């Protein structure tokens, strides 16, 4: 059974308990697949569970578990499922945190699902109308509006121009039974003959600087029916946001070009998701777009130049509604594109979507949301006050600027562990294919494992004196995860000294941003009840690995939740609920933007955070326990 993010597995009286029968084995029987990258050898530390009842039925905590789990975790009942051997009959109740569930890993990348009252902007109604007669010559529009009023109690509706052009033919083709697509309960946007009410789809799109993710939803069921993602095709025009702004600002033509490639990409994703779900693109009647402010502007064809110039004003904060065809989207021509509002020049609609998905603004307790990307947005707050900032963290966590970095495609190393006894690595790839590179979650795991096992020190330097065959020193020092003979790349796949530095720069920027927000709100890390870790790491990032790097303040691990692409989740919520949209416009009015560049302590915070996990180890007590010191 599942409840929230935890699976409760009960192992009742069982006479045939084999020697060495673990919770991991029991879970398999119960068809709960627990993630164990190392194959159950106690090395990867991915199969964390919490024993809720019957701890006496288990063998004592092993040495391997003590290395993988912090003192707090051990005290809280955490075990590794592969090490926790059942030694006698009885009921053992364990909780399996979401990050330990193998089956969920891929799914969760799509982002958390936050419940919304389903009330999409776009709804279809089947209505039956009566023909006009010579005695009662009504116009087609009058007949339709009368029918809507009688059958659906919709009064004061208007008909869009597009719907009007469909009306006369649809009424006759449908023999006066038509499906009316309405927007926001007041606008008839499409008329189709007969009953097409079951075919109502919408597209939610998160336009990241690096990756564009799309979700096709059945608006009747409120469910995702297909997802697809692609690299942002603007990358050739400038990897970072600023160079794209610079390119777009040069001429109207350049702006149109950057807009054009994104729109073409979204169209491709639309067609891909539609194809895989057996949907026609014209059955997509609504679109929600999110992205940072620059992506927002470029997608809409608004010159982003001034967003990048002090005082960084966005062209607009409030949400924008545009006709899909005006943007060149190949949905139903009647579809509308709703773009979530922006907070500031560098905290855009994607951050608002993050807030919607994590509901920070509605919580009584203090939460921090970190949406890791090329620009990382951080939001700290609760129902009383919410503040946000943005930091330039670079694309390392998305696999960018990493020697063997790649997207989370089949063959990408997504989980890594290092056997502390011999420094031999183990890993899991996407699709369990032969390795081809390392994706975001893989590089986080790898660097954390290298730190834990002493392959790198707190300065991030690879210990070339270890004299291990995996640590190569010809050229730049590097740690080999996969020999060229073992992979499809034809080249050793390694984590290089430079890769580690990229990760350090990225995580330092994020940690410094989070620290300054906390300073602004005068709160300490222990006051934070919830850390939402979001971002396009490719696959499920291990919150423990992330905290080992010092990416976010060291809080008890159970307070940390990886929420995947939360911006995408927020976009989906806006696609499913008009209330969420109204909420979004209120949220931006209540988020205070903190300009990091204007904070005098940013520089020092950043520099100190370059160490792993931090120069000041008292800030990372849990991590301190886990790291094997030189």
| Least distance from a second copy to the Cβ atom of residue 283, Å | 20
| Least distance from a second copy to the Cβ atom of residue 345, Å | 8
Q: Please say which residue, 135 or 630, places its beta carbon nearer to a second copy.
A: 135
**H helix or E strand, kind and range, residue 150:** helix 140-152
Binder of a second copy out of 302, 378, 408, 533 (CB under 8 A): 302
Question: In angstroms, what CA-CA distances link 5 with 1, 97, 560?
Answer: 11, 6, 12
| Least distance from a second copy to the Cβ atom of residue 307, Å | 8
Site string for a second copy, 307-346 (x = CB under 8 A): ---xxxxxxxxx-xxxx--x---------------x-xx-
Number of residues that bind a second copy (CB under 8 A): 44
Is 164 among the residues that bind a second copy (CB under 8 A)?
yes
User: Which residue is associated with the tokens 């943005």?
Assistant: 390
| Least distance from a second copy to the Cβ atom of residue 626, Å | 41
- What's the CA gap between 551 and 554, in Å, rounded? 9
Stretch that binds a second copy, among 128-136, 239-247, 515-523, 552-560 (CB under 8 A): 128-136
| Least distance from a second copy to the Cβ atom of residue 320, Å | 7
Q: Which residues pair with 203 in a beta bridge?
A: 216, 287
Q: Please say which residue, 132 or 420, places its beta carbon nearer to a second copy.
A: 132
Instruction: Give the β-pairing of 78-80 and 48-53.
Output: antiparallel
Is 142 among the residues that bind a second copy (CB under 8 A)?
yes
Binder of a second copy out of 109, 112, 159, 372 (CB under 8 A): 159
Binder of a second copy out of 138, 458, 520, 615 (CB under 8 A): 138
> Are 571 and 290 a contacting pair, CB within 8 Å?
yes
Instruction: Give, rounded to a whole angstrom, the gap between the first and last alpha carbons of the chain.
Output: 44
| Least distance from a second copy to the Cβ atom of residue 120, Å | 21
Stretch that binds a second copy, among 39-47, 180-188, 299-307, 609-617 (CB under 8 A): 299-307
- What's the CA gap between 381 and 233, in Å, rounded? 34
| Least distance from a second copy to the Cβ atom of residue 297, Å | 8
Is 303 among the residues that bind a second copy (CB under 8 A)?
yes
Binder of a second copy out of 141, 157, 225, 523 (CB under 8 A): 141
Stretch that binds a second copy, among 48-56, 166-174, 381-389, 444-452 (CB under 8 A): 166-174
* 3 state SS for 264-310: HHHHHHHHHHHHHHCCCHHHEEEEEEEECHHHHHHHHCCCCHHHHCC
Question: In angstroms, what CA-CA distances link 62 with 49, 351, 426, 462?
Answer: 14, 42, 20, 29
- What does the radius of gyration of the chain's CA atoms come to, in whole angstroms? 27
Site string for a second copy, 85-124 (x = CB under 8 A): ----------------------------------------
Is 176 among the residues that bind a second copy (CB under 8 A)?
no
Binder of a second copy out of 37, 85, 167, 521 (CB under 8 A): 167
Backbone angles phi, psi at 46, to 5 degrees: -90, -15
Is 186 among the residues that bind a second copy (CB under 8 A)?
no
Q: Which of residues 427-486 bind a second copy (CB under 8 A)?
A: none
Q: Please say which residue, 242 or 476, places its beta carbon nearer to a second copy.
A: 242
Which of 441, 545, 460, 442 is closest to 501 using CA atoms? 460
- What's the CA gap between 63 and 44, in Å, rounded? 14
Binder of a second copy out of 168, 185, 431, 621 (CB under 8 A): 168
Q: Which of residues 569-608 bind a second copy (CB under 8 A)?
A: 593, 595, 598
- Pair of tokens at residue 479: 């740690």
Question: In angstroms, what CA-CA distances link 354 with 349, 360, 388?
Answer: 9, 9, 11
- What's the CA gap between 73 and 175, in Å, rounded? 67
CB atoms within 10 A of CB 76: 14
Interface residues with a second copy (CB under 8 A) are 132-134, 137-143, 159, 161, 164-165, 167-169, 172, 300-303, 305-306, 310-318, 320-323, 326, 342, 344-345, 593, 595, 598
């Amino acid at each position: 059974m599942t409840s929230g993010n935890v699976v409760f597995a009960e192992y009742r009286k069982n006479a045939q308990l084999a020697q060495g029968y673990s919770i991991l084995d029991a879970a398999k029987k119960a068809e709960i697949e627990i993630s164990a990258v190392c194959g159950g050898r106690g090395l990867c530390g991915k199969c964390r569970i919490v024993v809720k009842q019957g701890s006496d039925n288990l063998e004592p905590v092993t040495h391997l578990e003590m290395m993988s789990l912090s003192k707090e975790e051990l005290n809280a009942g955490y075990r590794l499922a592969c090490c926790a051997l059942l030694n006698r009959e009885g009921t053992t109740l364990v909780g399996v945190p979401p990050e330990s569930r193998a089956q969920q890993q891929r799914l969760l990348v799509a982002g958390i699902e936050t419940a919304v009252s389903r009330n999409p902007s776009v709804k279809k109604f089947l209505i039956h109308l009566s023909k006009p007669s010579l005695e009662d010559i009504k116009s087609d529009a009058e007949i339709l509006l009368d029918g809507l009023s009688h059958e659906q109690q919709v009064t004061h509706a208007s008909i869009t121009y597009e719907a009007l052009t469909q009306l006369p033919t649809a009424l006759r083709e449908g023999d006066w039974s038509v499906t009316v697509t309405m927007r926001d309960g007041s606008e008839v946007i499409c008329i189709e003959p007969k009953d097409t009410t079951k075919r109502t789809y919408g597209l939610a799109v998160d336009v990241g600087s690096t990756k564009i993710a799309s979700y096709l939803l059945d608006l009747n069921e409120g469910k995702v029916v297909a997802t697809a993602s692609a690299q942002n095709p603007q990358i050739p025009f400038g990897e970072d946001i600023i160079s794209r702004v610079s390119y777009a600002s040069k001429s109207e033509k350049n702006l149109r070009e950057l807009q054009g490639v994104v729109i073409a990409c979204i169209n491709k994703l639309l067609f891909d998701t539609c194809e895989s779900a057996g949907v026609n693109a014209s059955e997509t009647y609504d679109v929600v777009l999110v992205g940072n402010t620059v992506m927002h502007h470029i997608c809409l064809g608004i010159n982003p130049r001034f967003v990048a110039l002090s005082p960084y004003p966005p062209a607009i904060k409030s949400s924008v509604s545009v006709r899909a065809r005006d943007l060149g989207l190949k949905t139903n021509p009647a579809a509308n594109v709703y773009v979530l509002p922006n907070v500031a020049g560098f905290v855009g609609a994607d951050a608002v979507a993050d807030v919607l998905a994590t509901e920070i603004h509605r919580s009584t307790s203090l939460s921090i949301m970190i949406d890791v990307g090329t620009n990382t947005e951080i939001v700290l707050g609760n129902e009383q006050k919410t503040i946000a900032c943005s930091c330039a963290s670079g694309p390392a966590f998305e696999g960018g600027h990493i020697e063997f970095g790649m997207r989370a495609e089949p063959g990408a190393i997504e989980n890594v562990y290092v056997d502390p006894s011999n420094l031999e690595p183990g890993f899991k790839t996407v699709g369990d294919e032969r390795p081809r590179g390392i994706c975001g979650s893989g590089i986080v795991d790898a660097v954390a494992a290298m730190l834990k096992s002493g392959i790198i020190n707190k300065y991030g330097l690879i210990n070339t004196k270890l004299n291990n065959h995996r640590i190569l020193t010809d050229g730049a020092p590097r740690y080999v995860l996969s020999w060229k003979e073992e992979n499809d790349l034809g080249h050793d796949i390694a984590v290089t000294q430079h890769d580690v530095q990229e990760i350090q720069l990225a995580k330092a920027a994020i940690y410094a941003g989070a620290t300054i927000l906390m300073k602004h709100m005068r709160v300490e890390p222990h006051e934070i009840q919830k850390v939402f870790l979001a971002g396009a790491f490719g696959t499920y990032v291990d919150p423990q690995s992330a905290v080992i790097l010092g990416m976010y303040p060291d809080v008890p691990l159970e307070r940390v939740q990886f929420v995947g692409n939360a911006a995408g989740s927020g976009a989906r919520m806006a696609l499913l609920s008009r209330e969420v949209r109204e909420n979004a416009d209120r949220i931006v009015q209540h988020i205070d933007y903190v300009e990091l560049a204007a904070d005098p302590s940013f520089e020092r915070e950043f520099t100190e955070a370059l160490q792993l996990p931090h120069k000041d180890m008292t800030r990372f007590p849990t991590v301190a326990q886990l790291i094997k010191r030189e």
